[in-house]
Amino acid sequence: MLQEFDGAARILNLEPGIWKILTHPKRQITVSCPIQMDNGEIEVFTGYRVQYNITLGPAKGGIRYHPGVTLDEVTALAAWMTWKCAVAHIPFGGGKGGVICDPTKMSRREIEALTRRYIAEIVDAIGPEKDVPAPDVNTDAQIMAWVMDTYSMHVGHTSTAVVTGKPIEMGGSLGRREATGRGVMIAARESAKHLGLNIKGATVAVQGFGNVGSISAELLASQVGATIVAVTDWKGGVYNPKGLDIPKLLDYVKQHKTVDGFAGAEPLAHTDLFTLDVDILIPAALENQITIDNAPKIKAKVIVEGANGPTTPDAHKYLHEHGVFVVPDILANSSGVTTSYFEWVQDRYGYFWTEKEVNERLEAKMCEAFNAVLQTSLKYRVDMRTAAYIVAISRVATVTRMRGMYA
Ligand code: NAD
């Protein structure tokens, strides 16, 4: 994060004082959460909430439950959220939370107890005006419902806007589930437009067929007529140079939990996905997938980073130098947080939009963000990732200067 920040800050000639402010987390909270487990014993779980920067508005960012959570990781993720919200041009700062636990070894009751205690421990720090959590690794809509309920019990009234990613019935937004994939589709379409590539019939390979990957693939095929030729997931991959039938593949995955074995396509090894002769590559699975080892084999003209951090810095440098147009994660997958912002707006307003309205507003926000980054990249003659950081840092820096020093 700091490496990406420094590169952009140097180009911006950011003054040392603002530089210092923007490279320090505003607030890091560590809490201990004692829980009575199902076997009657008491366990104590460590939880964190980091509000990296709240200059533009309340902190925004998910809560993850994982044995490998550390304060350093949560802080870096909170910083990324700061830049992602600023690029998306929504009035939020960046936050992130995490609890060191292994939810795969816990009962639903234990997870509920842990969620409620963790929220009770940080209750003074969160709220619609302060910090608005959301789902992340191993947390879902039900957990967000418990977050909302616990917070509401503490403040004495129902507060839907304290958290996003809630079930639709209790203040969630229509279109949220599809939002990140929809943004990836828009980013791919706008990239093609900029490069003079016809998106209709353009060939696409997608790594990962979960929320982001499957919806990006489905929308690229159904909305703009791209041809999805290859998909991989945790188990294997499928390839059909004439194009995969995405609705059929979605049905197959519903039953088999993997794309592996899908009829009407050849099997594809994980490592072969990146070497395919396609126009657009969408990494939508895990971090650090495109490395300096496989980057030279990539033939795609455009990479749209659906996942967070799928490209290592040296691979990114190589790709940029070899003319590959990379849409960075903080822009490409920002539609998820933009729709979380829409959820928060609707909750505060108490008036809910149709799915069509959500999608239209998302289209406008995503195009605005894409164009701001593209124009910055052309102005400074830098890659799209550096440009996204320049846009984000200058937005936060401008408001920091305007607000001045409180002392
Ligand atoms: P998900 O769990 O729904 O899907 C992940 C997919 O990756 C699954 O299909 C899984 O089988 C596949 N996968 C796992 N290991 C793989 C491997 N070695 N090779 C190929 N595929 C593999 O997760 P998601 O919500 O789609 O998130 C994917 C990425 O996008 C993550 O980096 C996440 O942080 C990022 N992201 C998600 C959202 C969102 O709204 N869901 C928003 C922003 C960023």
Between 311 and 1, residue with greater pLDDT = 311
* CA distances, 71 to each of 28, 49, 98, 105 (Å): 8, 9, 8, 22
Task: Give the domain CATH number at 89.
Answer: 3.40.50.10860
Separation of CA 196 and ligand 1 centre (Å): 29
Q: How far apart are the first and last CA of the chain?
A: 28
* Dist. CA 148–CA 221, nearest whole Å: 37
Query: Percentage of residues in the chain with pLDDT exceeding 70?
Result: 100
> C-alpha distances in angstroms, 400 versus 17, 20, 24, 54?
10, 12, 14, 10
Three-state DSSP at 293 gives: coil
**Average pLDDT of the residues in 269-273:** 95
Last residue of some domain: 129, 159, 189?
A: 159
Positive/negative CA dihedral, 150, 154, 159, 161:
negative
Residue 207 near ligand 1, beta carbon < 6 Å: yes
Residues 148 and 221 in one domain: no
Q: Around 120, how many Cα atoms within 13 Å sit in the side-chain half-sphere? A: 13
pLDDT tens digits for 217-239? 999 999 999 999 999 999 999 99
pLDDT digit string, tens, across residues 31-74 = 999 999 999 999 999 999 999 999 999 999 999 999 999 999 99
| End-of-domain residue from the set 327, 362, 395 | 327
- Residue 111 domain flag: yes
Q: What is the pLDDT of residue 97?
A: 98
Kindly state whether residues 189 and 280 are assigned to the same domain. Answer: yes
Shared domain for 146 and 181, answered yes or no, is no
pLDDT number for residue 238? 98
Q: Within a domain: residue 257? A: yes
Tokens representing 32 are: 């201990």
User: For residue 36, how far is its CA from the centre of ligand 1 (angstroms)?
Assistant: 32
Domain that holds residue 294: 177-327
In a domain, residue 390? The reply is: no
Alpha-carbon distance values, 150 to 157, 187, 373 (Å): 11, 37, 39
Per-position b or e across 189-209, b if 16+ CB within 10 A of its CB: bbbbebeebebeebbbbbbbb
Residues 94 and 121 grouped into a single domain? yes
Residues β-bridged to residue 315: none
Question: How many C-beta atoms lie closer than 10 Å to residue 153's C-beta?
Answer: 15
| Residue 317 annotated as catalytic | no
Atom 32 in ligand 1: which residue has the minimum CA distance?
307
Cα 285 to middle of ligand 1, angstroms: 4
Q: Answer yes or no: is pLDDT of 289 > 90.
A: yes
CB 9 within 8 A of CB 19: yes
CA angle 60, 61, 64 (to 5 degrees): 155
Are residues 189 and 95 part of one domain? Answer: no
Average confidence (pLDDT) over 81-92 = 98
**What is the CA angle 157-158-161, rounded to 5?**
125
| Residues in CB range of 151: below 8 A, 6 or more apart | 119, 123, 126, 127, 159, 162, 163
Q: In the 8-state DSSP scheme, what is residue 288?
A: S
Spatial strand order in the sheet of 131-135: 27-36, 42-53, 93-100, 59-66, 131-135
Average pLDDT, the chain: 97
Q: Which of 26, 60, 84, 96 is catalytic?
A: 96
Name the residue of 66, 282, 286 whose CB sits within 8 Å of the most ligand 1 atoms, as the mutation to test its pocket.
Answer: 286
Whether residues 193 and 101 share a domain: the answer is no
Rounded distance between C-alpha atoms, residue 15 and residue 177, angstroms:
40
Question: Are residue 137 and residue 212 in the same domain, yes or no?
Answer: no
Name the DSSP class of 311: B
pLDDT of residue 264: 86
Tens of pLDDT, residue by residue over 144-172, are 999 999 999 999 999 999 999 999 999 99
Task: For residue 33, give both structure tokens.
Answer: 């959460």
Residue 168 belongs to some domain of the structure: no
Count of domains forming the chain:
2
Give CA–CA dist 309/289, Å, rounded: 8
Quick check: CB of 284 below 6 Å from ligand 1? yes
> Does 124 share its domain with 183?
no
What per-residue confidence (pLDDT) applies to 144?
98
Q: Are residues 154 and 225 in the same domain?
A: no
**Could you give the 3-state DSSP secondary structure of residue 291?**
coil
Residue 4 domain flag = no
CA–CA distance, 273 with 205 (Å, rounded to integer): 7
- Domain of residue 188, CATH code: 3.40.50.720
Rounded to whole angstroms, the Cα distance separating 54 from 47 reads 20
**Confidence tier at 124 by pLDDT (50, 70, 90):** very high
For residues 164 and 174, the answer to whether their CB atoms sit within 8 Å is no
- Separation between Cα atoms, residue 130 and residue 109, nearest integer Å: 28
Q: What is the pLDDT of residue 407?
A: 80
Single-letter amino acid code for the residue at 58: P
Q: Is residue 135 part of a domain?
A: yes
Mean pLDDT calculated for residue range 66-91: 97
Same domain, 114 and 207: no
Instruction: Please determine, for residue 202, whether its predicted confidence score (pLDDT) is greater than 90.
Output: yes
Instruction: Decide: 306 in ligand 1 pocket, CB within 6 A.
Output: yes
Q: How far is the CA of 208 from the centre of ligand 1 (A)?
A: 6
Any domain includes 342: no
Which one of 74, 234, 303 would you pick to mutate in the ligand 1 pocket, going by the greatest count of ligand atoms within 8 A of its CB?
234
β-strand pairing of 93-100 with 42-53:
antiparallel
Name the band, by pLDDT with cuts 50, 70 and 90, for residue 3. Answer: confident
List, for residues 126-138, the tens digit of each pLDDT value: 999 999 999 999 9
